[in-house]
Amino acid sequence: MKKLLILGAGTAGTMAANRLSRLLDASEWQITIVDQHETHYYQPGYLFIPFGVYGKNDVIKPKRDFMPNGVHLVMSAIEAIEAEQNRVRLANGQTLGYDFLIIATGADIYPKQTPGLGEDEWGKSIQTFYSFEGAVALHEHLKHWPGGRLVLNVVENPIKCPVAPLEFLMLADWFFSEKGMRDKVELIYATPLPGAFTKPKASKMLGHLLTEKGIQVVPEFMIERVDPEAKKIVAYDEQEVSYDLLVSVPLNMGAEVVGKAGLGDELNFVPVDKHTFLSTRFANVFALGDAAAVPASKAGSVAHFAVETFGENFVRYTEGQALKPVFDGHANCFIESGFGKGLLIDFNYDTEPLPGRYPMPGVGPFTLLEESEANHWGKLMFKWMYWHILLKGKELPLPAQMSMVGKWSK
């Protein structure tokens, strides 16, 4: 029996387990997946919790519900990855050997990495929606918040879902308008980026949208520390922004166990080939999803397209063939913009988000880089697709590689 070991039963790990259990011959392969938590979180849903659009139950389900028959699920923390010996030691005392290892341990927030951030005011005048607990706490906080300066700060890139901060601010604009208190709220976005988004065309388009909604962008703001008493954030270049409520996207890092194993970069993300996900150090180690250090968005749609291209490539590799450079960095993200509307962006490593229609050229129903009600419904529908199609590793009727059809390059 050949052994495939998957670390992490989050979005990427679960999708990989489902897809590979279908592609690999069960009489030859034993697939094991390890995770320390019983609950699967629908992370894209965190965005909606602070505004009461989603409740707790919209975003949690037991991980076991998504494991295919034949895949062995082990509930334990990971003690050490010993890649030289092809084995992983678990906190429950077990040691698991493998022929192939997939690291899908994701990314998490590290508020304590920024002085003043994760201290006494954390959960009070400093909040986050980048964790389940944070999103729920922020919902409680916003219920009775009297208004003032709401500053959203991204500590450092890369972060999970680079559009989520923009969506949060646009939803906040809508939320406070609905509450009849928009005039009492200032919305400010302090970002290390030179503009609203990472890619030029989308940055310009989204920048305009933020201006229309009265959201101020403070670009190139690299935070050094928070001064929780004076309620201000201070950048490395001495720039300061004061707040009444700081909504922080803290430093995102990969799992510490990855760093300890010497498999990570300076943020504990695993350096891999960006087209195949093969580790740059070990020929039988891969990293999928947020755990991988690839220049693609850390997002569920990227993980989905990645796993879809990875599956058959992996099977070919185990049969002694060379890996094909199949993954193109494809990302497809709905951007909620408030008032029942949304945008959609579709891009990859080489092509930035462009305007047009998706997935059917000229028809849509979704509009690329342009607000529409259809996109909003697409975003809400996505939750159903996530639980029922994506996690189970089923194919969408959409190509995994990005297509230029239906896009306007000028």
User: Which residues of this chain interact with other proteins, rule CB under 8 A?
Assistant: 156-158, 162, 192-194, 198, 220, 222, 224, 236-237, 265-267, 295-297
Q: Which of 202, 219, 204 is nearest to 343 (CA)?
A: 202
**How are beta strands 185-190 and 252-254 bridged, if at all?**
unpaired
Please state the closest distance from residue 165 (CB atom) to other proteins, in A: 12
Please state the closest distance from residue 296 (CB atom) to other proteins, in A: 6
Residue 115 or 147 with smaller CB distance to other proteins? 115
Q: Which of 149, 145, 141 is nearest to 188 (CA)?
A: 149
Residue 100: how many other CB atoms lie within 10 Å:
21
Report the alpha-carbon distance of residue 295 to residue 301 in Å, rounded.
Answer: 14
Residue 245 or 255 with smaller CB distance to other proteins? 255
Residue 168 or 314 with smaller CB distance to other proteins? 168
Report the alpha-carbon distance of residue 304 to residue 391 in Å, rounded.
Answer: 8
Residue 244 or 352 with smaller CB distance to other proteins? 352
Please state the closest distance from residue 155 (CB atom) to other proteins, in A: 11
Please state the closest distance from residue 73 (CB atom) to other proteins, in A: 31
Please state the closest distance from residue 324 (CB atom) to other proteins, in A: 20
b vs e for 71-80, b when ≥16 Cβ sit within 10 Å of the residue's Cβ?
Answer: bebbeeebbe
Which residue type sits at 159? Answer: I
Please state the closest distance from residue 131 (CB atom) to other proteins, in A: 21
**CA distances to 53, 68, 377, 379, 402 from 372, in Å:** 19, 37, 9, 11, 22
Please state the closest distance from residue 49 (CB atom) to other proteins, in A: 25
Residue 29 or 327 with smaller CB distance to other proteins? 327
End-to-end Cα separation, the chain, in angstroms: 54
Residue 323 or 380 with smaller CB distance to other proteins? 323
Residue 68 or 192 with smaller CB distance to other proteins? 192
Residue 158 or 365 with smaller CB distance to other proteins? 158
Please state the closest distance from residue 237 (CB atom) to other proteins, in A: 6
Residue 43 or 297 with smaller CB distance to other proteins? 297
41 within 8 A of 33, measured Cβ to Cβ: no
Please state the closest distance from residue 405 (CB atom) to other proteins, in A: 24
